[in-house]
Each structure stands twice: as structure tokens, then as C-alpha cells.
Amino acid sequence: MHQALYRKYRPQTFDDVYGQDHITSVLKYEVAENKVSHAYLFCGSRGTGKTTCAKILAKAVNCLNPKNGDPCGECEACRAIADEATVDILEMDAASNTGVDYIRDIRDAVVYSPAMLKTRVYIIDEVHMLSTSAFNALLKTLEEPPERVIFILATTEVHKIPITVTSRCQRFDFRRIRTDVIADRLKYIADRESVSLQDDAATLIGKLSNGGMRDAISLLEVSAGQNHEVNVKRVRECAGISGRENVIKTVRAIAKKDWDSIFSVVSELVASSMSISVFWQDLIAFYRDMMLAKATKNALSNYELTDDEIYETKDCASLFTLETIMYHSRLLDRALGEMQSKTCDQRITAELTLVRMSDGKLATDTEALLARISELEGKVNMLSAQLASGSITVTQTDPVGADTIRPSEDAPKTKQPEQAVIPPRTDPTVGPREVEDWAEILRKIEDTNPQCTAFLGMTKTCIIGNEFIIKVADSFGVMILDDPQNRKTIQDAMISTNPGYASMTLKIVEDKQVKKQIASPFDDINF
């Protein structure tokens, strides 16, 4: 009779358990030193080794010849437990036995000595499913258990267990197993089973298993059916996922407002019988990655992405502002909730949401407006930097005062040589002169303080004597820029651009003429 691979390769000793060294080392020590507790609570996500460790512990405490805390697997007790030929190891599924009657039966039976082993072990899986009355019936037994009785409780939802129960147990939290650890185990199994498994396919299975070894081995077995070579394409087909390429294609289509590509992706998903909701979850996860790429420097390295995947994520993130990414993420979350309802057509929901994401003008809620404002601020800052650098100039075209923007005849057409250090001027009578490297200072400030850059983009600057003067249109802007933190940001950017600014005094002053000089160039621009 065929035996599933996850059962065939279930660890038989603590040393065989992958990814839970912080737990297995403690259990081995307790067995070796005869310091085993009367009650254990194993909690963690599915497939991480809770039940496996419970069975190994049951063997270890009853083994006639234990080896450094591990069961020998050869003695009469180990063989009886492995063959399920003893009544002293009782494994119960609390999901199907939730009532108090089952716990009362256990409570009545624990007073008797083990039939053939040294210790009777009760393994209660999914213990959080027990009713309140069942937990109450178990409390007294857990608090004062008879000699030679051990309780091992396993759960995936520890928060549902009463604190009165958890306080009477020795608790162990099973971690999600790392992708590289799962991939190594899959390669070992594939080698033993003569399965052709590619390295990138093993890594993909590890990611899809979400830290669960059992799910990973099961997916490997399905992918290897009919002696099929296990590659990335095969794994995606068996797992029912569309692949990262479709996700990236969709994100780029949203950025370009390419509705043809958007509808094409959805149509391909439907035609291939792949689940739209699974693709949607992949899309949400990619937006999470883009958010991290936009808001942090190195957070993506914690999510087991390759260098190419990190580059692709950052490249896609550069197409949006952070506000837009957050707004799109909320739209995706809402759509996923609608897709999970039975009355909703997933295809229609997906298409409507993607179209709404691609054009912010179609939405009028606050989040959409904030995203659009953020995009406008970015364009204004870019234009301000161009004005400050002289790449465009403002010219008067008629007596009425209509302003237009055109390329400056004096704008540099080639890369200029590095500016020389500006010597400080101590003579206060020297007239004002232009800050030629103001655009470079703005770019450096934008990298560390975008909010400050937004205010600096609507200012005028000049140097008088040894004073570096920033003119602001109103008192509110002066208050913001004169904040100690913002002043330090500006001064650091000045000095890093030109060390000669270190001896100058930074002055931030109000000048109502600035608003008239700067606001008008944007009037005729269609954002």
C-alpha cells in the first residue's frame, strides 16, 4: 500500500526534526536528565512539527535504551509505539471530540497504571477546539496529574486556550521553517525517491508552503506525479498560481493605464482555470514588497527574495508614490473580501478594481485624493528644481502678465564640471548672488526629508556676504523650515554639496514676493 511521502519521511528522532532546534535541544536535555514535565503545550502553524515532536517525546520517555535523549527506535517499547500496538499512547483529535465527556473519560482513566509502558502519554491535537466545560474538566488533572502520566497539547491557535490551561503547561512555540531549510529537506527526499527536482523549484515550493514542512512535501509529491520533472512551471501548475511575471505585468499596466493589458491578464487567468483570488493574494503581497522598497532601505532582504526579484520590486515601486501604493493596497484588500463572498463574480470585481487603480480620477474618496495630491507634489518639486537649476526660465509674454515656461538658452547642454568650493565672504556689503548648486542641495534633502523638500521647492535663495538666505512666501513655511530638525537637514545638505557653506549663517526669512514670483509659472501646466 502506498504511503504518503510526508508520513514516510516523518522524523523518528529529535535530530531528524528540521528547523526547530530551539525546541528539540530542550526536549532532549529533559529526557536525558530525567526532568520531563507532566504537561506540554506545543503551539505553532500547521506542518511545523508539533505532532511529530509529541510522538518522538512519547517514544523517548518510554524507550528502554535512550541515546542522549533520543529514542533508540529498536527496543520493544519503541517498536510497539511505532506500530501503534500499545494502549498507553493515546492520540486524540479535539476538533472531532470537543465535548466534556471525552475529557471525563481521560480523567477517570489516568488513575490506573500504564498497561505495558513506563509512562502513559496523552496527545491532544487541536486542543483549542475543546469546549469551555471540557477545559474546566481538564484543569484539575493538569494541575495534579498522577505519576507516570504526561499530557502533550498541540494547537495552531494558542490564543483560544484559557490562560488557566497554558499556565499549567510547559509551552513551546514552533517557528515557521525557513525556505532554505525546507528546500534542503526536499532535495534529500527527491534524491531518495529518484525524483528530478530543480533547485529553483525546491525554493518555490518552500515559499509556497508558508513555513510548513508537511505542505511542502505534499506539494513535491503532487508535482512529481507520473515521474514528472519538478521544475518551476510544473510547481506553479500544480499549486494553481499564475507566476510572478503576471503580477509584474499587471502592476506595470496599472502604472501606464494600459487597460488592454489589464483585461488580457484577467482573461488569461480565467482561461487557464487558475484561481483569481490566489492571483489577487500574490498581487497584494507584491504591493507589500513595493511598500517596503519605497519606505525602507533593506527590509526586502528579510523576505527571502533573490537579487533579481528585489531589483524588479524596486523598479516597479519607482512607478508610484508611497501614498498611491497604500491606496492601491486598500483597494486590493477590499476587493479580496468581496471575492471571498459567494454572491460576487470574481472576474468582474478584479476588472473593476484594476481599472479604478489605474486611473485615480475615477475615485473621489479621501484616499484617492491624497494619492493624486502626492503625485502633483512630486511634479511640482521636479519643476521647482528645474527652475532653480536654470534648465527652464520664466518669461513675460504679454502686458497682462500671462507667464509661460520655456527652455533656457543658457541652460547647460552637457554635464558641468564639479563646482569649486565657495570661499566665505565676510564683507556684509557684498550684494546678493545666486546659489548655483541649489538644485543639487534639493536633491540631497529629498533623499532624507521629502516633506522638507516640498516646502523648499517654493522658495527663493541667495547669498549676501556670509549669509545663506532662504526666502519663504509665508510665516507657516518659515515655521516648518526653521524647525531644528529641518534646519539641520538643510545645513547638512549644503555642506555635503559645498564645504564652503560650513562657515556661512543660514537664515530663513519671510518674503511675500516669493509667492508672486513662483506660483505663476504653474498656472498653465496641465498635471
Series of mean pLDDT values for 10-residue runs along the chain (527 residues): 84 90 92 91 91 93 90 90 88 79 82 86 90 85 84 92 91 91 92 89 87 90 85 82 82 90 88 81 90 85 77 89 88 88 82 86 62 66 65 50 48 47 46 80 80 78 88 82 86 86 87 60 41
Q: Residue 88 is placed in which grid cell?
A: 498507553
The beta-carbon contacts of 55-59 under 8 Å, at least 24 apart in sequence, are: 55/81, 55/89, 55/91, 55/123, 56/11, 56/12, 56/13, 56/14, 56/17, 56/27, 57/27, 57/31, 57/121, 57/150, 57/152, 58/89, 58/121, 58/123, 58/150, 58/152, 59/12
Strand partners, 404: 395
User: What's the CA gap between 510 and 478, in Å, rounded?
Assistant: 6
Sign, Cα dihedral of 297, 301, 307, 313: negative
Residue 366's contacts (CB-CB under 8 Å, 6 or more residues apart) are: none
Determine the pLDDT at residue 303: 75
Determine the pLDDT at residue 113: 83
Determine the pLDDT at residue 134: 86
Q: Residue 452 is placed in which grid cell?
A: 522638507
User: What's the CA gap between 301 and 313, in Å, rounded?
Assistant: 12
User: What's the CA gap between 229 and 194, in Å, rounded?
Assistant: 10
Residue 166's contacts (CB-CB under 8 Å, 6 or more residues apart) are: 41, 158
Residue 15's contacts (CB-CB under 8 Å, 6 or more residues apart) are: 24, 70
What's the whole-model pTM score?
0.61
User: What's the CA gap between 307 and 301, in Å, rounded?
Assistant: 9
Determine the pLDDT at residue 367: 60
Determine the pLDDT at residue 358: 86
User: What's the CA gap between 288 and 480, in Å, rounded?
Assistant: 31
Determine the pLDDT at residue 497: 86
3-class DSSP assignment, residue 505: strand
Q: What are phi and psi of 38, to 5 degrees?
A: -85, -15
Supply the angle between the helices 213-223 and 232-239 in degrees, to the nearest 10: 110
Determine the pLDDT at residue 457: 76
